[in-house]
Amino acid sequence: MYRSGWSYKAPHRERILQITMLREGLLALLREASPASGPDVANTKDALVRYQWDPERNVRSEQLPYRSLQLGISGSMASKWIDEWIVGIEDITEDVRRWKGCIDKEGKNGVRKVKREIERTWNEAVFEVGEELEVRLGMRESDEGGPGVDVATG
């Protein structure tokens, strides 16, 4: 919601969609993913799936101590994602705009109301991907060392 400005940021970001997909599809995308930036980007310019870690925000737009994985999907992987792995799409734009209005109008009380509603609607849970993917995506350090990334645990 933060990245889209609660659906008000730009004309091409005016709808907020809740996409439900198959677990096996997400794992396939993650296995195919290449970094969107960094020293190896030149070697992955033709990647069908790119990833980057973005700072996560709470409903007040304050940065949280973990990051969220953002995926860019193109070519044949986009077709597979759309045709085979997506099992539901719901437009939640009106809810998001209502939440933003509540926060803006009611301040801290609005934040509490919105958080309660979001928590009733969605339950975050740890999505296990296995050690190999965790290391490759920068979610944890490898045995050889290297940067790790804090991730949300739900």
Domain annotation covers residue 148 = no
Query: Does residue 119 form part of some domain?
Result: yes
pLDDT digits (tens, 9 = 90+) for 7-48: 999 988 899 999 999 999 999 999 999 998 887 776 777 899
Residue 102, phi then psi, degrees to nearest 5:
-65, -45
The pLDDT, as a whole number, for residue 78 is: 96
What is the pLDDT, as a whole number, of residue 44?
A: 73
Domain count, the chain: 1
Q: Which domain holds residue 106?
A: 5-136
Q: Is the pTM of this model over 0.85?
A: no
Which value, to the nearest 10 degrees, does the dihedral of the CA atoms of residues 110, 116, 120, 125 take?
A: 120
Q: Is the pLDDT of residue 147 over 50?
A: no
Read off the pLDDT band of 127 (50, 70, 90): confident
